[in-house]
Structure 1
């Protein structure tokens, strides 16, 4: 259930209030060149109370697209693959890359605890060396002539599937 906007609280107090409600997954975005998409992902990650949003590389994000939610989120920026892997060491990394998928999002039995969901750029996806280092590579089935989904939509589908599996007994 969505919380009422904390209009009378400063962002640090809101972050502290949300901390115990955070979920055990993080979202990572690999050099997404679409600043609007990254802002939208921040907004979606906030809606699902992701633990952390990791931005790999120096691509900017468009704060208006996050509708102000960036001020309530933990956003970590790392410069490259090695810094990312060091930052998430010990946590499973599940990449989303349709063309190199090992499994369907809907065919997996469960998400591991503390999973980091890794998304690539809309144009280039996730580089092969990073996919090889991922613990799992998932695809989202699509059926039209379009070859891919917008990055923000794909991330929203995956976070929604994570939530559906974790909150089966709760209503919205």
Structure 2
């Protein structure tokens, strides 16, 4: 079943959502699989992130966002330098298993942070790794080397919400 439009324009919906947005952002180096970027945008909408930074110029699959891109602030950064300038002064948290100093369960998550995800094949560049305030890994238990980037982004956003959601526990009593 399709969700009704509530008889509001896209801009009116964006205005209604603005005060509900959370004080963190997602950044992703354009993935080799354009579906992943759309899936990340869709998931970011579910967590009402402040904005989504897309680093690089590769295309992304808008249909995978399921229409949620129109409600999000998407900041297109053609390269790493433009991205780093856009987030200057904000805590930058890289998600990169091989260079991690902490895990998702232990990492600090200050307000205003930007979670940064690399592309599937290349991960994060040395330049982006050196710009990160911290680098975290998501614990893994199988023999895979990494999670799909869209899944990793969802897990990180979910952990942020678990720690920071002002509504507290939603577990039925």
Fold equivalence (TM over 0.5): yes
Name the residue aligned to 1:117.
115
Name the residue aligned to 2:63.
64
1:26–1:50 contact (8 Å) kept in structure 2? yes
* Distance of 2:97 and 2:4 partners within structure 1: 36
* Distance of 1:51 and 1:170 partners within structure 2: 22
Alignment of 1:1-172 (within 5 A): 6-108=5-107, 110-167=108-165, 169-171=168-170
* Distance of 1:141 and 1:134 partners within structure 2: 19
1:39–1:62 contact (8 Å) kept in structure 2? yes
Equivalent residue of 1:164, what SS? helix
* Distance of 1:90 and 1:69 partners within structure 2: 28
1:6, distance to aligned residue in structure 2 (A): 3.4
* Number of aligned residues: 168
* Distance of 2:81 and 2:144 partners within structure 1: 33
* Distance of 2:28 and 2:4 partners within structure 1: 26
2:27–2:55 contact (8 Å) kept in structure 1? yes
1:129, distance to aligned residue in structure 2 (A): 1.7
CA-based RMSD: 1.4
CA offsets 1:5-29 (integer angstroms, 9 cap, x no match): 5342221111110000000000001
Gaps of 5+ in 2: none
1:93, distance to aligned residue in structure 2 (A): 0.5
CA offsets 1:20-56 (integer angstroms, 9 cap, x no match): 0000000001131211000000000000000000000
* Distance of 1:5 and 1:161 partners within structure 2: 30
CA offsets 1:70-93 (integer angstroms, 9 cap, x no match): 010000101111111110111010
TM-score (norm 2): 0.92
* Distance of 2:114 and 2:130 partners within structure 1: 15
